[in-house]
Structure 1
Amino acid sequence: MPDTTEQSAPRAKRPTRAQRREEILAAATRVFGSKGYHQGSLVDVAAQVGITHAGVLHHFGSKDKLLWEVLEYRDRVDVQDLEGQHIPGGMDLFRHLVTTARQNAGRRGIVQAYAVLTGESVTDGHPASTWVAERFAVLRGEISQAVRELADERSVTLPEGEPERAAAAVIAVMDGLQLQWLLDPEAVDLAAATGFAIESILTATLGSTVRITNP
C-alpha cells in the first residue's frame, strides 16, 4: 500500500540573535517615534516583532538600554554607506548632511523617532538627555572644524567663535526643517531646503558664495 503519511512542512528558519536585535531596534524606532519614550511600551515593541515582553528584555535588558541602542542605531544608519562609517570633513561633510536629508525623506520612522526623543530629552530625568547633549557637542565640533577647513582653503580669517556659531546654526536649521517636513512633507523639500540653508550659513560665515555640489 502507498505511504499516505503526510510529511510535515519544513520549519521556518529562526532568525539569528543579531537579526532579532535588528528587528527589535526597528520596531522600537517606530514605537518611540509614534508614541514617545514614556508612552511607548516594551509590550508595543514586542508585539511588532511577534515575541514577548520578556523576549525584548532578554536582548536588551531594560527599556533604557533599548532606548540607547535605538539612538545608536539611528546614527549607524546615517553613516553605514560612508568609508570608515564615519562622517567626513571639509566640504564633504556638508555634502553628506544634504545627502542624509535626502535619505531621511525616505525613512520617516527614523526621523520621527529622532525628533520625538530629542524633544523629550530636555525634560527632567529623561534617559536620553546625556546622549543627546553629547551628540550635539560632537556634531558642533565636527561641523565647526569643517567650517575652519573651508575658511583655510579660501584664506579667510574668521572671528573668534564664528565656526561654532555657524555649526550651531546648521544643526538648528536641519532639525527645524525635519519638524516642518514631518508635519507637512508636501510643503518642504527636505534635501533642497537643507542645502539652501547650509549654503546660506556658509556664505554668510565665509563672506563669499558657497555652493554644495551633491554627489
Structure 2
Amino acid sequence: MTGDKQAVGGRKTQKPYPKGVARRAQILETALEVFASEGDRKASLRAIAERVGLTDTGVLHYFGSREELFLAVIDERDQESTAAAEGAADSLEAIVRTVRHNMGVPGLVRLYVAMTAAAPEPGHPAGPYFARRYEQLRAAIRTGVAVMQENGQARDDIDAAVLAQLLVAAVDGVQLQWLIDPSVDMAEVVGALVTMITGSPER
C-alpha cells in the first residue's frame, strides 16, 4: 500500500511510502525497457503489467492513468538522455548528443511524439506537462546560448530566446521526420543547426 500518488503534472501530493516508491520505480523501469526494446505498439499497459506481475489496475494504482504512466516514462527518458549528454562542452553540443542517444530508442521517441500530439487536447494530462517542459527547456537553452553569445561563441545577431525556441522546434520536427523516414540522420541535422548558431562544426 502507498500514500497518495506522485503526479507528473506537479500537483501537491503526500509522500509515498518506501515500498510504494520502489514498486513504482520498478514499473517505470519495466515500461522504459518495453518501449525501448519492443516499441510503443507492443508497449501496452497489459504487457507492462504482466512483466511486473500486476494487473492493469494494479499498475494504474501507482500512476493514476495510462497517460500519467506514459508521461512518467517520458520524464525518465529525459533523465537518461541528459545523462547520455554529460560531458558535452556546452548546452548546444549536449542537445546534439541527446538527439544521437535518442536515435537508439525509437519506441520512446514515438511515444514522445504521440504524447506531444495529444497535448493540445482540452483536459489531456499531457497539456500542462508539456507546457511546463517546453518552458523549462527553452529557458535552459536560452541561458546557455546567452552565455555563449557573451563569450563570443555564438552569433549574437539573433536573440538567445529565439534561438532556443528554434532549436526546440527543430529537434521536435526532425524526430517526426525520422520516425517516418529512418534514413534521416537527426543528429546530423541538429548538428548543422548548431553549426549555424556557433559558426564552428559541432565537436
- Corresponding residue of 1:172: 169
Structure 1 stretch displaced more, 123-132 or 74-83: 74-83
Contact 1:31–1:44 (CA under 8 A) maintained in structure 2: no
Q: Does 1:130 align with 2:128?
A: yes
Query: Does residue 80 in structure 1 map to residue 83 in structure 2?
Result: yes
Q: Secondary structure at the match of 2:173?
A: helix
C-alpha separation in 1, matches of 2:153 and 2:191: 23
Counterpart among 17, 24, 30 of residue 23 in structure 1 = 30
Query: How many residues get paired?
Result: 181
Structure-1-length-normalised TM-score: 0.71
Show the counterpart of 2:202. 212
Please say if residues 34 and 112 of structure 1, whose CA atoms lie closer than 8 Å, have aligned partners that are also in contact: no
Match for residue 188 of structure 2 among 182, 188, 192: 192
In structure 2, C-alpha distance between the alignment counterparts of 1:156 and 1:80, rounded to whole Å:
24
State yes or no: 1:42 paired with 2:45.
yes
CA contact (8 A) 1:27 1:49 kept: no
Q: CA deviation at 1:72?
A: 1.3
Cα displacement (A) at 1:111 = 0.8
Q: Structure 2 vs 1, CA of residues 123 and 45 (structure 1 numbering), >3 Å: closer, same or farther?
A: same
1:183 aligns with 2:186: no
Q: Greater relative contact order: 1 or 2 (C-alpha under 8 angstroms, separation 6 or more)? A: 1
- Greater mean alpha carbon deviation, residues 144-153 or residues 23-32: 23-32
Deviations along 1:31-77, whole A, 9 cap, x unmatched? 99449xxxx86335435656421331243343343233122112111
- Root-mean-square deviation (CA, aligned residues, Å) is 3.1
Q: Give the 3-state SS of the residue equivalent to 1:194 in structure 2.
A: helix
Gaps in structure 2 of 5+ consecutive residues: 1-21
Amino acid of the residue matched to residue 30 of structure 2?
Answer: E
Question: C-alpha deviations, 1:103-136, integer Å up to 9, x for none?
Answer: 1111101111111101110122111111101111
Mark the runs of 5 or more structure 1 residues left unpaired by the alignment. 1-15, 204-208
Contact 1:151 1:157 in 2 (8 A): yes
Matched, 1:52 2:42: no
Partner of 2:149: 151
SS at match of 1:210: coil
Residue 20 to residue 41, structure 1, CA distance change in 2 (3 Å): closer
* Deviating 4+ runs (over 4 angstroms): 28-32, 47-50, 155-159
Distance 2:174 2:144 in 1: 21
In 1, Cα distance between equivalents of 2:69 and 2:191: 33
Task: Say whether the 8 Å CA contact 1:33–1:116 is kept in structure 2.
Answer: no
Deviation (angstroms), 1:23: 0.8
Deviation at 1:199, TM superposition (A): 1.8
Whether the 8 Å CA contact 2:37–2:107 is kept in 1: the answer is yes
Q: Larger Cα Rg: Structure 1 or Structure 2?
A: 1
> For residues 210 and 156 of structure 1, do their structure 2 counterparts lie closer, same or farther at Cα, with a shift above 3 Å needed?
closer
Structure 2 counterpart of 1:142:
140
